[in-house]
């Protein structure tokens, strides 16, 4: 593949997106409401589908026309092929995805209530077997890419190593700190952008040695920038996103939609954001696409299967 990192990316000549992250099989349960501690509630239905934040973001980007590779781990078990099925269907390059014979494929148990809100328990399985040495083995993949996308479902030392490698290679490092893991402050300061929700943003600010008591969302974003993070995107669900980077500070509204299932909506946002950045769009412009893709995803059940394809009509703000 031709190296595009030394020329300005455009829609016609986008950069490659390398996603390094998790692959899970999602076990989704529909419930009338989420149980309280110690309580049993009846479920309405159950289903199994591909998931994992890394895989979700790769599928979201590929369905929008991105040139995407995924580096990930699955187990050598019967669920691995199902977990990878939609990645294959949308043409994600799985050259750097492998099976660990000692581990099971990651599992996420997702409960979705009647309002579409979810709660999730993740068993990492093979996702937890990544090492710093494995990260070093991605030098070739990184060298072919212009945007590196990572999340918090692989070990923190691996994220630290990847952040350093991206900076050394001149590759843009999109870090979605979800879930929040104990990465080094330098990794947060390498993120361009750091993508976090309201809760994650405050934990990231504490990790950088800053307090956040009583501070509103916009001030948290500004504080993260002040602490050395090059650019920040704070996702706020139906309220859209706050975007801050060099010369850019904006509130990006989200379309109004009826949510059936919010599972994977944040990953749809990140995948779309990566596509916009790989096409050379500014952070605000890419975020405006991302909120529309995230809103489209909540209108259907499940994660990857709900993501829109390129050319599909998206909800308007």
Of the residues 26, 100, 261, 267, only one is catalytic, namely 267
| Total residues belonging to the chain | 317
Number of other CB atoms surrounding residue 88 within 10 Å: 11
SS3 state of residue 197:
strand
251-to-189, 195, 222, 283, 317 alpha-carbon distances in Å: 22, 14, 13, 12, 13
316-to-182, 222, 224, 279, 295 alpha-carbon distances in Å: 37, 28, 30, 21, 9
Residue 73: closest CA among 52, 57, 89? 52
N- to C-terminal Cα distance for the chain? 37
Three-point CA angle 254, 302, 27, nearest 5°: 140
From CA 269, how far away is CA 241, in angstroms rounded? 10
199: exposed, middle or buried (Cβ count in 10 Å: 0-12, 13-18, 19+):
exposed
From CA 265, how far away is CA 159, in angstroms rounded? 22
Annotation marks residue 267 as catalytic: yes
Active-site annotation, residues? 267
């Amino acid at each position: 593949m031709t190296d595009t990192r030394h020329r300005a990316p455009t829609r016609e000549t986008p950069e490659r997106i390398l996603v390094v992250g998790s692959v899970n099989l999602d076990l989704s349960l529909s419930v009338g409401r989420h149980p309280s501690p110690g309580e049993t509630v009846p479920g309405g239905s159950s289903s199994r589908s591909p998931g994992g934040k890394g895989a979700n973001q790769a599928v979201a980007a590929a369905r929008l026309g991105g040139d995407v590779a995924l580096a990930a781990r699955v187990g050598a078990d019967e669920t691995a092929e199902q977990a990878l099925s939609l990645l294959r269907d949308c043409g994600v390059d799985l050259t750097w995805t492998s099976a660990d014979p000692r581990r099971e494929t990651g599992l996420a148990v997702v409960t979705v209530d009647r309002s579409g809100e979810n709660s999730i328990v993740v068993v990492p399985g093979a996702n937890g077997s990544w090492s710093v040495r494995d990260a070093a083995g991605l030098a070739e993949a990184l060298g072919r890419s212009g945007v590196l996308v990572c999340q918090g479902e692989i070990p923190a030392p691996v994220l630290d190593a990847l952040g350093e490698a991206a900076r050394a290679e001149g590759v843009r490092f999109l870090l979605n700190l979800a879930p929040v893991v104990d990465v080094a402050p330098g990794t947060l300061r390498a993120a361009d952008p750091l993508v976090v929700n309201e809760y994650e943003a405050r934990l990231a600010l504490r990790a950088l040695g800053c307090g956040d008591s009583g501070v509103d969302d916009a001030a948290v974003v500004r504080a993260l920038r002040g602490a050395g993070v090059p650019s920040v995107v704070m996702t706020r669900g139906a309220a859209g996103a706050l975007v801050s980077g060099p010369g850019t500070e904006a509130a990006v509204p989200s379309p109004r939609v009826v949510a059936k299932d919010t599972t994977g909506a944040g990953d749809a946002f990140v995948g779309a954001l990566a596509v916009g950045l790989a096409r050379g769009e500014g952070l605000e412009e890419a975020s405006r696409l991302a909120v529309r893709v995230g809103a489209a995803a909540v209108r259907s059940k499940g994660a990857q299967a709900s993501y829109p394809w390129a050319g599909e009509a998206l909800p308007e703000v």
